[in-house]
Structure 1
């Protein structure tokens, strides 16, 4: 089966990383997970990704910082923000910074699959 794209999931909660992997891998996505924003940037420097799902609140580098860095250096990557601290102002800020979409925890497998599918279609891959 051909990969539908490479997805990088950044979240300090293992359950979120595992959930995303469990939902996306059987659908044909090549999924890589990491718990840290700085580690994610390191991975992005070495490998190609189509879509990034990043948590907003992380200990080392927050999701908005990760988003800004990705959009500056790899503008064609679609970035989806995941957060359990969903505030409208943060969502608006993330979208202004170039986020494709915003998903609030707790999310369903369908939520993740739908947003990743939309991001892939918008990217035109």
Structure 2
């Protein structure tokens, strides 16, 4: 059996992490959930994740800034951008 994927999930809405974490864990993934982008970035700098799922619109830092930080650290990490806004 292969190692589980390491996933960081970042969304300033607590309900997103509460709903997505159990669903992702069911497919053999380890998930760390953050609501604060600054804390998430600290963790990204400490650990290499296979996938980072980030909200686009957040206070303090937006998803594009998170994307830049992830890509600076590792070109191997995949980034999935999500939003609750119907129109971008």
Normalising by structure 1, we get a TM-score of 0.64
4+ residue runs of structure 1 moved beyond 3 angstroms?
none
Q: Which residue of 2 aligns with 1:39?
A: 39
Pairing 1:73–2:73 present: yes
1:1-50 deviations in whole A, cap 9, x for unaligned? 65431000000111101111010112110000011221111101112210
Higher relative contact order (CA 8 A, sep 6+): 2
Pairing 1:84–2:84 present: yes
Normalising by structure 2, we get a TM-score of 0.89
Q: Which residue of 1 aligns with 2:24?
A: 24
CA-atom RMSD, angstroms? 1.5
SS, match of residue 76 in structure 1? coil
Pairing 1:64–2:64 present: yes
Equivalent positions of 1:93-104 (< 5 A) are none
- In 2, are the aligned partners of 1:37 and 1:60 still within 8 Å (CA)? yes
Equivalent positions of 1:42-53 (< 5 A) are 42-53=42-53
- Structure 2: runs of 5+ lacking an equivalent: none
1:71 positional shift: 1.3
SS, match of residue 26 in structure 2? helix
- In 2, are the aligned partners of 1:7 and 1:49 still within 8 Å (CA)? yes
- Structure 1: runs of 5+ lacking an equivalent: 91-125
Distance in 1, Cα, partners of 2:33 & 2:65:
18
